[in-house]
Amino acid sequence: MFWNKEMETISQTDLEALQLSRLKWTVNHVQNVEFYQKKFRDAGVTPADIQHLDDIEKIPFTTKKELRDGYPFGNIAVPMKQVVRIHTTSGTTGKPTVVGYTRQDLDNWSELIARNLTMIGLTDEDVFQNAVNYGLFTGGLGFHYGGEKIGATVIPSATGNTRRQIEMIDDFGVTAIHCTPSYGMHLAEVAEEMGASLDSLRIGIFGAEPWSENLRKELETRLGVEAFDSYGMSEMYGPGAAFECPEHDGLHLWHDFYFAEIIDPETGERLPDGEKGELVITPLVKEAMPLVRYRTGDITRIIPDACPCRRGKRLARISGRADDMLVIRGINVFPSQIEHTLFSIPEVGDQFMVYVDRINHLDEMTIEVEMNRESFSGELADLAGLQRKVAGAIKESLNLRTTVRLVEPGSLPRFEGKARHVVDRRGEI
Ligand code: ADP
Ligand code: K
Ligand code: ZN
């Protein structure tokens, strides 16, 4: 199913022509931002040097830090009169960045969400509960207007009051829900306590943070949904830039709106399709806050083969942020890998925390994981066995020795928005 058939099935040749004309527009438009004027000048490039898509490599990258330095409105390329809304990033890795939107930007953004929702089978018959933070976080209003655009009945339930959220699902016959995967797990837990049926629910949209395939299975069975991955970031309007289709094998990036490159995060060298590295994005139609070659910090790869469902290259699921990656005794670990392993062990529950310390110059990782109800009521001897089992599974999948602490069900923090599972204490004295 297509929301915009022309764009969603555009041929590669036509797409490249469109991308080039939009790229030329973008490199001219960024000249309205002082920081970009200087960037181009320092690199000795002018917009006229961009005659082919590959010419983009002549332009230096833009970093998160550079955007932060423009706080608050230094990156806005249009008069503030034309800016009709602002949002900010969540500030997961530091001070938030302010992003602005013109009316056209807001239209473009809801167009993207409309494509995504239509792609996974939502229509004006659906009742859509948007259980994410409304406000400066882009997930709330972004999905809200996209849902209205396709005519779905949108419930702006936001976060919090989890029991009430569950009642709404049953009372209003909610068919689709959007939340972070962490909050999805919390909803499942509370629904089970309440004995709610959740019969009407068939689709779950989860995004804003990395999540594993095992967490997908868990969410699908416990909430009774087909789960879809949603990727985006405030600098790319918000969620909706790339979205999983019913094939569940990668996310469709909307290439008429974004030009994607993958680079080696260490060297900055551009990598061929299929290789894993950092995603670099050039939005092609952004008016209020255009960007060129923005380093997202997110690790993925481009899947070049065609998807049965529609044209266009896909992105593999995001494994994490380059700066989320823990290097423990020289081994690279993403929190999503730990999650994936823990979820494969039936005796432990859904919640975990990872602590990293430096003890006698050695990195030590401690994982606190909740037991499930059954193992919690088990014998002490079983618990020691379970502890060994968890440590063994981590050793096997990540080749890392860890200390495992089993804790009571319900004792670790729950998250309504983006979860923070890792506390790295190595910098502390
Ligand atoms: P912040 O960067 O401050 O968290 P945003 O709220 O804009 O600000 O979040 C965007 C980031 O969230 C992305 O760069 C990415 O790291 C993460 N993210 C969003 N969606 C996903 C997803 N589906 N899978 C993995 N990570 C995601
Ligand atoms: K409707
Ligand atoms: Zn597809």
**pLDDT in the model for residue 141:** 97
Mean pLDDT of 316-329: 86
Name the residue among 422, 231, 202 with its Cα closest to residue 315. Answer: 231
Among 65, 178, 298, the mutation site with the greatest number of ligand 1 atoms within 8 A of its Cβ is 298
Among 253, 318, 325, 336, the mutation site with the greatest number of ligand 1 atoms within 8 A of its Cβ is 318
Mean pLDDT of 17-25: 98
Predicted confidence band at 162 (pLDDT cuts at 50, 70, 90)? very high
Mean pLDDT of 183-209: 96
Higher pLDDT, 417 or 402: 402
Around ligand 1, the residues with Cβ closer than 6 Å are 89-92, 207-210, 229-234, 296, 298, 318, 321
Question: How many helices and strands (H and E) does the chain possess?
Answer: 12, 21
Task: Write the CA distances from 151 to 3, 103, 401, integer angstroms.
Answer: 12, 20, 52
Cα(211) to ligand 3 centroid in Å equals: 20
Alpha-carbon distance of 392 to 96, in angstroms, equals 39
Alpha-carbon distance of 357 to 199, in angstroms, equals 45
Cα(152) to ligand 2 centroid in Å equals: 4
**pLDDT in the model for residue 95:** 77
Alpha-carbon distance of 183 to 215, in angstroms, equals 12
**pLDDT-above-90 percentage for the chain:** 81
Name the residue among 181, 423, 142 with its Cα closest to residue 318. Answer: 181
What is the fold of 325-424?
GMP Synthetase; Chain A, domain 3 (3.30.300)
pLDDT at 378 over 90: no
**pLDDT in the model for residue 429:** 52
Ordered alpha helix ranges (H), 233-369: 335-343
pLDDT at 79 over 90: yes
pLDDT at 323 over 80: no
The number of the ligand 1 atom at minimal distance from the alpha carbon of 230 is 23
Predicted confidence band at 120 (pLDDT cuts at 50, 70, 90)? very high
Alpha-carbon distance of 210 to 418, in angstroms, equals 9
Higher pLDDT, 11 or 380: 11
Cα(107) to ligand 1 centroid in Å equals: 21
Cα(217) to ligand 3 centroid in Å equals: 20
Tell me which residue has its CA closest to atom 14 in ligand 1.
Answer: 233
Tokens of 161: 């009051």
Q: DSSP assignment, residue 270?
A: B
CA angle 319–26–47, rounded 5-degree value: 115
Q: DSSP assignment, residue 62?
A: B
Mean pLDDT of 233-246: 97
Query: Average model confidence (pLDDT) for the chain?
Result: 94
**125, 113 contact by CB (below 8 A):** no
Predicted confidence band at 19 (pLDDT cuts at 50, 70, 90)? very high
Tokens of 116: 């995504």
Tell me which residue has its CA closest to atom 20 in ligand 1.
Answer: 208
User: Cα-flanking dihedrals φ and ψ of residue 193, to 5°?
Assistant: -60, -40
**pLDDT in the model for residue 138:** 95
**318, 210 contact by CB (below 8 A):** yes
Task: Write the CA distances from 115 to 178, 336, 408, 411, integer angstroms.
Answer: 15, 28, 43, 40
Cα(127) to ligand 2 centroid in Å equals: 7
Centre a 10 Å sphere on the Cβ of residue 331 and count the other Cβ atoms it contains: 12
Sign of CA dihedral 235, 262, 15, 58: positive
Predicted confidence band at 91 (pLDDT cuts at 50, 70, 90)? confident
Cα(245) to ligand 1 centroid in Å equals: 19
Q: pLDDT digits over 266-319, tens only?
A: 999 999 999 999 999 999 999 999 999 999 999 999 999 989 999 889 999 998
Residue found by looking up tokens 């909740």 in the block: 370
The number of the ligand 1 atom at minimal distance from the alpha carbon of 229 is 23
Instruction: Give me the residue spans of the domains in the chain.
Output: 1-319, 325-424
pLDDT at 345 over 90: yes
Cα(4) to ligand 2 centroid in Å equals: 19
Q: pLDDT digits over 121-140, tens only?
A: 999 999 999 999 999 999 99
Predicted confidence band at 52 (pLDDT cuts at 50, 70, 90)? very high
Centre a 10 Å sphere on the Cβ of residue 390 and count the other Cβ atoms it contains: 23
**Which residues have CB under 8 Å from 398's CB, separation 6+?**
331, 333, 337, 338, 341
Q: What is the CA radius of gyration of the chain?
A: 22
Q: Which helix (H) or strand (E) holds 329?
A: none
**Which residues have CB under 8 Å from 386's CB, separation 6+?**
347, 348, 371, 375, 378, 406
Helix (H, G, I), strand (E, B) or coil at 252: strand
Among 98, 231, 235, 237, the mutation site with the greatest number of ligand 1 atoms within 8 A of its Cβ is 231
**CATH number, domain 1-319:** 3.40.50.12780
Ligand nearest to the CA of 230: 1
